[in-house]
Structure 1
Amino acid sequence: MTGTKQRPTPQVVACVVYVLLHLAADASATFFQVAPGISLWYPPAGLALSLLLLLGIRYAPIVFAANVASALLTSGFHVWWAPFLFPLLITLNYSGAAWLMTRYGSGGLMPDSRDRAFTFASIILGAPALLAFVGTGVLIPLGYASASDLIHSSLRWWIGDVSGLLTVVPLALVFAGPLINPEARARRVPWLRTLREVSLFGVEMLVLLACLGLVFEFGPLRNYNAFYLCFLPLIWICIRHGLPGATIATLLVTMGGMIGMHITGSTTYLIINFLLFQLAVAVVGLGLGTAVTRRSEAERELAASESRFERVIDGAQLGLWDWNIARNRVSFNARWSAITGLPASGPTSDFAGWASLVHPMDRDRFSAALHEHLEGRSALIEVAYRIRTRDNHVRWMIARGSTVARDANGRPLLVSGTHTDITETRLAEAETHRLLNIIEANTDFIATADTAGELLYANASLRSLLAQLGARTTADRRLSELFAPRSARILQAEAMPAAAESGFWHGELILVGAAGKDLPVSIVLLPHREAESDGVTFSLIMRDISRQRQAEAERIEGERKMLQVQKLESIGVLAGGIAHDFNNLLTAIMGNASLARLDLPENIQANAALTQIEGAAERAAELCQQMLAYAGRSPLAFSTVNLSDLIDQTTQLLQISLHKNTTLDLRLQRPVASVKADATQLRQIIMNLVINASEAIGERVGRILVRTESRYFDQPELRANFEDQDVPAGDYVLVEVEDNGSGMPAEIRQHIFEPFFTTKFTGRGLGLAAVLGIVKAHRGAIQVSSESGQGTVFRVIIPAYGANASTPPATASRPAAAMRQGLVLVVDDEESVRAVVARTLESLGFRPIVASDGVEGVECVTRDLKALSFVLLDLVMPRMDGHDAFTAIRRIAPDLPVILMSGFSEKLSLERFADAKPTAFISKPFARDALTRCLERAGLPKAS
């Protein structure tokens, strides 16, 4: 397995380098030694203090160990404890100095203020003095110094340590400090970045050494101790290179002077002069270098600050302006020029030029804001205005500023501030205002609420609804108060979570409307994430769909009615078709039975069978008539009828039809309006309704109420009570049949008028169906009210005579045509009908010919026109029906009598014959006697 080598920390490297340099510097200090342990230049003192300043006094053991090692290697003490005592004194002394400099100085860095510089100098000068005095005092008992020489020896010790401190400590702090201390590394000024700068610095050092060499080698200069010549290159170096150059120059002067004195020889006077010069060089060089470095750092920080300020201004897109009131000059920065497209100086360099760019509608407000501030009535200028740019566009600006300089009397001299382009903001505000106006004018209910359901906003429509509910404001209103309880639960528990998850929810809920009435709404729910609180709010768009629902309900009801009408019409067509076909069959049965009776003696038993056949056929014909009545195709014989009299005349028949425990109660209005109707069919209506009521009561004791009344019915009442039937407002005669029987549930009530629907075991399901058909044929309406166990009420209305009634068209009789021959044409698609009618005509003395449809009938008329006496024409036939055949016959023979045959009513059958009417009409089924009567009414005598 391979592993990465861990690099030593800067602290470890510093300690190792310190020990090596300490041993080397201590060995070289013997070169300048004037007594045991006393040297005129002692660099290890500077190294010890530098290490403790850079790493802290916790590294004092390293200093103690290095001093013990150097004492054992280089000193010649004859007592064993001396090599440990002096290192201990040195360690304690400089540890205290380092603590004081860290506590009250610059924190291990070169001083950056006057107070810190004083502290730094005091400790540099004071700490060696204490150590020198104590150390010399220890040397006296050991015999290395005399008591009389205490001051002199202490001074030399002090000079050596001070020179070592002044040359080594600044150098270590400047060059080694940034490698260990992050703060110092961040503040370090780049130095000697190019080869040219290195070369020039080398030349400057050589000039400094040359000046120092001249002093030692040139006699007159040496005699006068002209060390001040070195100040010229020293100052030059300090000004050009700051503190780094000053520390190197100070070290170079010290080492060069020490070496020069050692080589050329020295006197006490020369040594003292040089040491004083060395102190001056250190103070001047380090002070000047520090000042230059601090200036460079300040300039760099200022440039960085200005650059940062420009970045902030550019990033914030702020324009700057200064208004010098005294000189009436206005200056702008580049951002202002970028916004307006105008130069920062020129026509706008005075206040009038600036104001001329302001939109005319905003100038008064702009000037008022400025003067209000200048007069001291506002602390800040803040005014929004429009400005016209160079390309003639209008931009919105907001100017903010205040007075930054005043004269002795407090009058403003300089006003400065910023301006911001707020065009997009103003456009957004205008758009927001426009949308808000749209929302306020919207007839939909629009609201905003928080997740707790607290109402935050409501538009005008919703506020109007809230006002109807008694709320004056939307404050403290909750959504749950707007909705019906179930809708409020759905909104809170389902809609809001779903919208928060998917971003949208749509549904239909119920609002509480005015007077507590339910108000159905279609609702769209949208969530919004709030930037300030990171919470969620919801916007609700609610549209009133009550009219839509009402229209939908009306549409469904209309469709239901239409389906019911279509259903009844379809059943009616079916019933009419069945009745028509049955009538054809019954015509053959009844006709053949009557013909057979003619051929048999009266006393034969077969006559009884024929009588039963004819009776059954007549009953079948009655069923067909009921089916035709439901289909609205039964024959009607209109006359003026008094319904109260009609019911009164039918009382005995009604009583016979009732169960013995049922009482008939008649409440007949007298006088009552007459109706134009078929009395027989109206009697059938009364009989069917009363019999049904009696059967509903059964064997129980019951009562049937029959009531008549004539009155006016308006349209709302008709729609409310006869909603499925289209009858106009007007005067009607009401017939009401009420019982206290078992009643009917809704599922039965909705089918009772359908043919063949019955709840009776033996019923045929045609009674009420026929009632409905008869009522419709009389342009009336019927309505039933019933509940299980509550009895039943039938209400029938028939238009009063003279109101919504018309007399059916009468069939005009025509005189008998002159009979040329006894030839009669029978046209019918049913073979059995053709055969029985032909035989009946033969029995009457006519000579019949037959045709199976209208086409054959027209051909026969064309062929036998001169011989024909009249035509019996069926109405419903294939290929060519009775109407088309009649029209064709009238074109061929306008005077030829034509008798129309049909299983439908005369009125319905003759409706299609608008221009010319048939000679007569006969309803199927018919027998020989009925045909004879029809011929007589038509004026057609029997053939001979």
Structure 2
Amino acid sequence: MKQRSIGFQSADLDQQDFTTACKELALRARPAITAYPLTVVCLYLLGPYYNSQKALTVVIFCLALLTTIVRWKHASSILEITGPIPVQWKRRFDFATIASGVAWGFLGLFTALFATPQDFIILCIGTVTMGAGAIASIGNDHRLYFIYVYSLSIPNALPFFFKGRFESSAIGIVGLILATVASYLNWTYCRSFWTNLRLNREKIDDVASARERLEMVVAGSNLGTFDWQISPLELHIDQKCPKLLGYPPDKFAPFAGDIYSFVAPEDRKILREKLVALLKCPESKTHEVEVRLRAVDGTFRWFVFRGRVVQRDLSGRSQRVAGTYQDITQEKVAQTRMEELQRQIEESEKLKTLGVLAGGVAHDFNNLLTAFVANIELARMGIEESDEAQQFLNEAKNSALSAAELCDQLLAYAGKGKYEIVPFSLNQAVGELAHLLQVSAGKNHTLKLELAKELPNVEGDLSQIRQIILNLLTNAAESMGEKSGTILIETSVSKADDIQALHPDLTPNDYVHLVVKDEGCGMSSEVLEKMFDPFFTTKFTGRGLGLASVLGIAKNHGGKIYADSEVNVGTAFHVLLPVSKSTPLAVETKAEQESPEHRRGPLTVLLVDDEVSVRIVVKNLIEQAGHQAIAVSGGEQALEMLTSDRKSIDLVLLDIIMPGMDGYATLQAIKENWPDLPVVLSSGYSEDNVFQRAQGQMQGFLKKPYSRAQLLETVESTVAGHYSEGKLRKTA
């Protein structure tokens, strides 16, 4: 900004400063303009000459009044201009001011020449008053004031010089000196005005620059600003909030109605409490609240508001609150997703721990059942077939085998069940079970199938997947009880993108989606959290292993199972199984193969098991069949026996889970030293789990518990097949 100490022109200043100076000039000049007609009135009232010359006085008063009106309207027009002020308006103002000064100066000259000294003194007093008042009224334009004050003073001083007396000349000189002093005072006032204008302009520029930087920072971030004036109730908020919520900025007026109507019902109480705490806080601390605001489409977005009281009245009551806000919807979604992942991790760890426990319990229990079943077999062999005790022993054996099935369910939950992995169609599996499913659903329930067309194949154990379907359908029917209704079985495909978004714990892939939905009693949130836990059941006669085994099967197929439920409405179980890229295998009917010719003569079996009861009873079963059995308690003893007398051993029956040297290590040592010796592994786990680690090394497998017939069949057929075919093979 350029500044001139003796006035201003549009060429010296930028447009904004020129407009500011013009408005300041017009505003200050309006009150001073009224001095002209007022002074004329004083001349008429106090001056003898003008009192006697009424006509002349009226003419002078009318001219002064007309000048005042014209100048007042011109100054008012300048003040009313909202934009930049044109230069010609300032020129008109300058011309009117100078013309008024010249006219008044010549009125003074006329009064000095023709009126009485009393009239002249009154006019001089008015002139001095006008000149002094003009120091402030046109003080920001020193050049204009300089011309104006001398226009007033020179005509009034001239008569004193023409009278020829020293006293008169001195009075004229004093008048001009006063005009000069007034001009100097105006110069100092003008300089002060422009200095203040420059400083204010610099401050305004600094504020504008800071505001621009703040706006750039706010615009470049996801922060918004708000200004809440409490009395009167007004909320000034930037455009980010209405834009995020989908409202036009001119129609976003939270205080036009109920402010809480914009807030989610669950958040209204906490918002009210936070506002009360903010307004009542004696210190200007920053407060924070997270709320959900309703968008145009009815959805809610998360916002965090941070603000503090910035203005209070004299009594200390809050009058104004200002601060920032931020859209945290994505952060909340990510936080929810993270919490869900954490929950899933914790659930997975819990299930893993329970799975290990369940697998260990099932394995140890199968060991006990092995001795139990074998002892029953020995007892039955010791009595006549017609003996009444045969029936009781048979019932005991069946109960033991039922217990073994319970162990199989535990193993399925632990992921150690038996699986035969083949690609197949889930629609076909459901279709083949349709009649059985309808029977399981019951007469009061309608079974509805909605199977997707061209459903991709899945890969897994078909019998295990059938177990999932039947188990879920049975649960659905039982939850509905005697109540009539529909059980829906639905299949569809979930794409990889949807799976990644909804189930990040699963491997990205397309999944076949199986839904079993009922209209039963539903489950509470507490039951939903525990429904997959082993031995948890809401049924009076339930064992609590159905859903646990279903979970284990789904997880070991690379899938997932979860449920949606509402009390008194129903439950929907969802099973996700990965899509298979393999071609489904055709079902082939194989002719029964004749059992290989058993080796004639007694066999010698090396029995390796750490359980004393198992060793004793199995040794008895083998020997009662006409064979010989050598029983040892561990892998080290088995290797010592083979080292000392290998030729007499026809087969090794080897337990897997043993302390010290386990079955796998023992098997490897046997195959390294005696590769032609057949080995049958025995375990409470399924064959598939064992086969994965012992593939190509074992020649047979016995799943605990086993019967006498299964034991002898496996032992004799393995030895016979080994020696007749001259090669090793896996026997189920």
Number of the residue aligned with 1:758: 537
Give how far 1:586 is off: 0.8
Number of the residue aligned with 2:214: 439
CA distance in 2, matches of 1:473, 1:655: 59
CA distance in 2, matches of 1:641, 1:614: 36
Contact 2:598/2:721 (<8 A) preserved: no
Number of the residue aligned with 1:333: none
Contact 1:447/1:459 (<8 A) preserved: yes
Number of the residue aligned with 2:561: 782
Give how far 1:480 is off: 7.5
Residue identity in the other structure for 1:366: Q
Q: Deviations over 1:17-38 (max 9, x none)?
A: xxxxxxxxxxxxxxxxxxxxxx
CA distance in 1, matches of 2:610, 2:258: 75
Number of the residue aligned with 1:402: 142
Q: Deviations over 1:42-101 (max 9, x none)?
A: xxxxxxxxxxxxxxxxxxxxxxxxxxxxxxxxxxxxxxxxxxxxxxxxxxxxxxxxxxxx
Q: Deviations over 1:520-543 (max 9, x none)?
A: 333332223489999843221223
- State the secondary structure of the residue aligned to 1:772: helix
Alignment of 1:9-20 (within 5 A): none
Seen in structure 2, the aligned counterparts of structure 1 residues 763 and 457 have a Cα distance that, compared at 3 Å, is: closer
CA distance in 1, matches of 2:304, 2:625: 79
Seen in structure 2, the aligned counterparts of structure 1 residues 530 and 614 have a Cα distance that, compared at 3 Å, is: closer
1:885 alignment partner, one of 633, 648, 666: 666
Residue identity in the other structure for 2:325: M
* 1:574 to 2:314 alignment: no
* 1:688 to 2:471 alignment: yes
CA distance in 2, matches of 1:538, 1:469: 23
Percent identity over the alignment?
Answer: 31
Give how far 1:789 is off: 3.2
Seen in structure 2, the aligned counterparts of structure 1 residues 680 and 460 have a Cα distance that, compared at 3 Å, is: closer
Contact 1:799/1:805 (<8 A) preserved: no
Give how far 1:764 is off: 1.2
Number of the residue aligned with 1:837: 618
Residue identity in the other structure for 2:703: S
What is the TM-score normalised by the length of structure 2? Answer: 0.62
Number of the residue aligned with 1:540: 323
Number of the residue aligned with 2:303: 521
Contact 1:854/1:881 (<8 A) preserved: yes
Contact 1:523/1:541 (<8 A) preserved: yes
- State the secondary structure of the residue aligned to 2:249: coil
Residue identity in the other structure for 1:450: Q
CA distance in 2, matches of 1:863, 1:434: 98
Alignment of 1:122-201 (within 5 A): none
CA distance in 1, matches of 2:434, 2:613: 42
Unaligned runs of 5+ in 2: 26-138, 155-178, 587-595, 724-732
Number of the residue aligned with 1:603: 386
Unaligned runs of 5+ in 1: 1-361, 382-398, 808-814
1:919 alignment partner, one of 699, 709, 712: 699
Give how far 1:408 is off: 5.7
Contact 2:536/2:545 (<8 A) preserved: yes
Give how far 1:555 is off: 1.8
Contact 1:495/1:525 (<8 A) preserved: no
Number of the residue aligned with 1:853: 634
Alignment of 1:643-792 (within 5 A): 650=433, 659-662=442-445, 675-706=458-489, 709=491, 711-715=492-496, 717-718=498-499, 723=503, 726=506, 728-730=508-510, 732=512, 736-792=515-571
Contact 1:456/1:474 (<8 A) preserved: no
Q: Deviations over 1:398-431 (max 9, x none)?
A: x978357569679998644556699998887676
Give how far 1:584 is off: 0.5
Number of the residue aligned with 2:710: 930
CA distance in 2, matches of 1:460, 1:648: 58
* 1:614 to 2:393 alignment: no
Alignment of 1:458-473 (within 5 A): 458=237, 461=240, 468-472=246-250
Number of the residue aligned with 2:284: 503
Seen in structure 2, the aligned counterparts of structure 1 residues 561 and 772 have a Cα distance that, compared at 3 Å, is: same
What is the TM-score normalised by the length of structure 1? Answer: 0.50
Contact 2:509/2:578 (<8 A) preserved: no
Number of the residue aligned with 1:334: none
Contact 1:824/1:847 (<8 A) preserved: yes
Contact 1:743/1:789 (<8 A) preserved: yes
CA distance in 2, matches of 1:594, 1:634: 26
Q: Deviations over 1:103-142 (max 9, x none)?
A: xxxxxxxxxxxxxxxxxxxxxxxxxxxxxxxxxxxxxxxx
CA distance in 2, matches of 1:851, 1:423: 107
Residue identity in the other structure for 1:742: C
Number of the residue aligned with 2:650: 869
* 1:900 to 2:681 alignment: yes
Give how far 1:773 is off: 2.4
Number of the residue aligned with 1:559: 342
2:276 alignment partner, one of 482, 494, 501: 494
Alignment of 1:377-388 (within 5 A): none
CA distance in 2, matches of 1:806, 1:780: 21
Number of the residue aligned with 1:345: none
Contact 1:844/1:942 (<8 A) preserved: no
CA distance in 1, matches of 2:231, 2:198: 37
CA distance in 2, matches of 1:603, 1:463: 91
- State the secondary structure of the residue aligned to 2:9: helix
Contact 1:469/1:513 (<8 A) preserved: no
Contact 2:522/2:571 (<8 A) preserved: yes
CA distance in 2, matches of 1:375, 1:922: 108
Residue identity in the other structure for 1:448: D
Residue identity in the other structure for 1:726: L
- State the secondary structure of the residue aligned to 2:530: coil
Number of the residue aligned with 2:108: none
Contact 2:423/2:582 (<8 A) preserved: no
Number of the residue aligned with 2:50: none
Seen in structure 2, the aligned counterparts of structure 1 residues 855 and 367 have a Cα distance that, compared at 3 Å, is: farther
CA distance in 1, matches of 2:241, 2:453: 59
CA distance in 2, matches of 1:457, 1:648: 65
CA distance in 1, matches of 2:200, 2:273: 35
CA distance in 1, matches of 2:361, 2:350: 16
Give how far 1:628 is off: 1.4
Contact 2:622/2:628 (<8 A) preserved: yes
Seen in structure 2, the aligned counterparts of structure 1 residues 475 and 545 have a Cα distance that, compared at 3 Å, is: closer
Residue identity in the other structure for 1:902: S
- State the secondary structure of the residue aligned to 2:324: strand
Number of the residue aligned with 1:366: 3
Contact 2:604/2:651 (<8 A) preserved: yes
CA distance in 1, matches of 2:254, 2:262: 18
Give the structure with higher Rg (CA). 1
Contact 2:227/2:235 (<8 A) preserved: yes
Root-mean-square deviation (Å): 4.8
CA distance in 2, matches of 1:929, 1:512: 73
Seen in structure 2, the aligned counterparts of structure 1 residues 565 and 431 have a Cα distance that, compared at 3 Å, is: farther
Alignment of 1:48-447 (within 5 A): 365-366=2-3, 372=9, 402=142, 415-416=187-188, 418=191, 432-433=207-208, 435-440=210-215, 441-442=217-218, 443=221, 444-447=223-226
CA distance in 1, matches of 2:251, 2:516: 58
Residue identity in the other structure for 2:683: S
CA distance in 2, matches of 1:699, 1:637: 37
Seen in structure 2, the aligned counterparts of structure 1 residues 794 and 405 have a Cα distance that, compared at 3 Å, is: closer
Give how far 1:861 is off: 4.2
How many residues are treated as equivalent by the alignment? Answer: 549
Alignment of 1:464-483 (within 5 A): 468-472=246-250
